[in-house]
Amino acid sequence: MSYLNCGRLLRLAADRNGPRPFLTFGARTWTYAQFHQTVNRLANSLLASGVKSGDRVAILSHNSDGVLLVLFAAARIGAVTVPLNTMLTNDEAVDLVVRSKASVLAVGSGLSGRLDGILERVPRPRLVLQLGEGRPESPDVVSLDELIAASIASDEPHIAVADEDLATIIFTSGSTGTPKATAKTHANLGWSAVNLQLAEPRDRRSVELFAIPLSGIGFANFILADVLAGAHVVLMAKFDADEAVRLIEHHRVTHAFLAPTMLLSMAGSPELRDGALRSVVAVDTAYEMSPEQRRSVAECFPAADFVYGYGSTEGLLNRTPPDRFLTDPTCVGRPAGLDETRVMTADGRLAATDEVGEIELYGPTRMAGYLGQDDAEVFTGDGWYRTGDLGSMDEDGMLHFRGRIKDMIKSGGYNVAAAEVESAIGEVDGVRAVAVVGRSHPYWGEAVVAAVVLETEAEADKTRRAITDHLSQRLSAYKRPKHVEMVTDLPYSPSGKVAKGVLVAALAHVFADEGARSDGG
């Protein structure tokens, strides 16, 4: 069965919307027909280069039309994409390339300087692609444009790709600190798009600003939904508040997912003139936002409904009705489309109204599983995914988010596993003990804060510098603490575990006087 294959969805869209604009990136605008034919050329060239169904294609790049070409071309021949966050250090990127067994590596031209440091430490890929402008410096690297030009066939390759086949592996930090390889099928991605269309329909008149990284689940949740609708996507390489305002005004953008940090930056943009954002009819957002911040950003979009979402890479897109965005900040609404949620107590009961328990999800967007890991702890006997998040259902059947069972910090829209940061800081000489928590922050939502106990207090300045230097090599920027507090001891529970609730309270002074600054402080 092959109804929801990503390549087929693009072909259907091209058949129905051929001359209409599909994608604008920088100065280039692709029609549906042009993009579809180019994807076919790239798919045929990948096959000619020896790439086959099931091969893993790792992508390390900022957003670009080239990234989307690779995503769709790989889907068309049954290859599995492995999008990597550009904020990864080389150590982290090498680990994920090796774990995914990638045989193709595609790197954005702006990141090509990192290639040597990665290639010397991974099994030699069958193909190394440079995305974007310019000729590769190495003869072993092929530019995407050259590979596309080498193909003489624009016909769709005849490769059978089933809905149940693996489409992508997205690495997401787990509570243990080890990134988890989330396996998503074509059906998972296709149903994500269908669910969004059912909940918040796009159509041919819609214009979507896509400003979040393509390394996440946004490709399925938004771009595939736009493909289904025949909508026009305006793609940003990286988010910039001033440029986002200009693009919205110029292209008369109607829809956008914008994280709180993005919205707050746009609210302070000098480009924000009266009426500049009036074309926007729907803003999707998520993560932590205070009531004051919600009111502030809503004023910038006078014609828009704000839809607050909750979900995960593993599956699900919950959506809050717009009328609750300003009035009910804990509400994360109902599942979109054919997904389901429930709240279960620790003793295995379905939670009563307003009773707090673990949020579980079920439906066609639920991942196939974690590659290389035992899924017994995350799936129930009847197939529900245990999110590790706490929630409750109100009398209207609306889900309310109540916190995390997992020791996870959501900072600026990224998941940060406290255990991973603790492990890295613990490697520094002079550190006797460390605990990492999230502290509420007006810009980041939550900011990573480390409490460090030193071997010798006299070495505090030296050790602080050593921690900073070590983490700059060891961890992505978004994982590094925004504040390091030197403490004489950590609070412990009777069982010997760090009492993080007590620690969070003890660190209440951190960021207490911070304002909602656009630079995040």
Show me where the domains of the chain are located. 6-230, 282-404, 408-506
Q: How far, in Å, CA of 250 to CA of 313, rounded?
A: 32
pLDDT of residue 519: 41
- What DSSP string runs through 156-225? PP-----TTSEEEEEEEE-TTSSEEEEEEEHHHHHHHHHHHHHHS---TT-EEEE-S-TTSTHIIIIIHH
Indicate the fold that domain 6-230 takes in CATH.
Rossmann fold (3.40.50)
In this structure, what token pair is assigned to residue 470? 């070590």
At residue 293, the 3 state secondary structure works out as helix
Using the structure block, give the residue that is written with the tokens 């096959």.
47
Would you tell me which CATH number, out of the four given (2.30.30.40, 3.40.50.300, 2.30.38.10, 3.20.20.70), belongs to the domain 282-404? 2.30.38.10
Q: Are residues 211 and 256 in contact, defined by beta-carbon separation less than 8 angstroms?
A: yes
Q: Are residues 171 and 98 in contact, defined by beta-carbon separation less than 8 angstroms?
A: no
Q: Are residues 223 and 210 in contact, defined by beta-carbon separation less than 8 angstroms?
A: yes
Straight-line distance from the first to the last Cα atom of the chain, in angstroms, rounded to the nearest whole number = 51
pLDDT of residue 498: 83
Q: Are residues 210 and 251 in contact, defined by beta-carbon separation less than 8 angstroms?
A: no
* Residue 437, strand partner residues: 449
Exposure pattern of 273-304 as b/e (b: 16+ CB <10 Å)?
eeebbebbebbbbbbbbeeebbebbbebbeeb
CA distances from 351 to 54, 345, 421 (A): 41, 6, 34
Q: How far, in Å, CA of 150 to CA of 283, rounded?
A: 41
User: Considering Cα of 50, then 54, then 58, then 59, what sign does the dihedral take?
Assistant: positive
Looking at residue 474, what DSSP letter applies?
H
Strands 399-404 and 385-393: antiparallel
Residue 436 exposed, middle or buried by CB count within 10 Å (0-12, 13-18, 19+):
buried
pLDDT of residue 173: 64
SS (H, E, C) 405-432: CCCEEEECCEEEEHHHHHHHHHCCCCEE
Per-residue pLDDT of the chain (521 residues; tens, 9 = 90+): 788 899 999 999 999 999 999 999 999 999 999 999 999 999 999 999 999 999 999 999 999 999 999 999 999 999 999 999 998 999 999 999 999 999 999 999 889 889 999 999 999 999 999 998 888 878 889 999 999 999 978 899 999 999 999 999 999 865 445 789 999 999 999 999 999 999 999 999 999 999 999 998 999 999 999 999 999 999 999 999 999 999 999 999 999 999 988 999 999 999 998 889 999 999 999 987 878 889 999 999 999 999 999 999 999 889 999 999 999 988 999 999 999 999 999 899 999 999 999 999 999 999 999 998 888 889 999 999 999 888 999 999 999 988 777 778 889 888 888 888 998 999 999 998 899 999 989 889 899 999 999 988 888 899 999 999 999 999 999 999 999 999 999 998 655 678 888 898 899 899 887 653 434 43
Domain spanning 408-506 has what CATH number? 3.30.300.30
Using the structure block, give the residue that is written with the tokens 């444009």.
145
What amino acid is encoded at 271 in this protein? E
User: What's the predicted TM-score (pTM) here?
Assistant: 0.86
Order the strands of the 56-60 sheet from edge to edge: 142-143, 127-131, 102-108, 56-60, 80-84, 166-173, 179-185, 369-370
Q: Which residues contact 414 (CB under 8 A, 6 or more apart)?
A: 87, 478, 479
* Residue 235, strand partner residues: 25, 210
Q: Which residues contact 451 (CB under 8 A, 6 or more apart)?
A: 434, 435, 436, 437, 485, 487, 490, 503, 506, 507
CA distances from 338 to 195, 199, 262, 395 (A): 7, 10, 30, 21
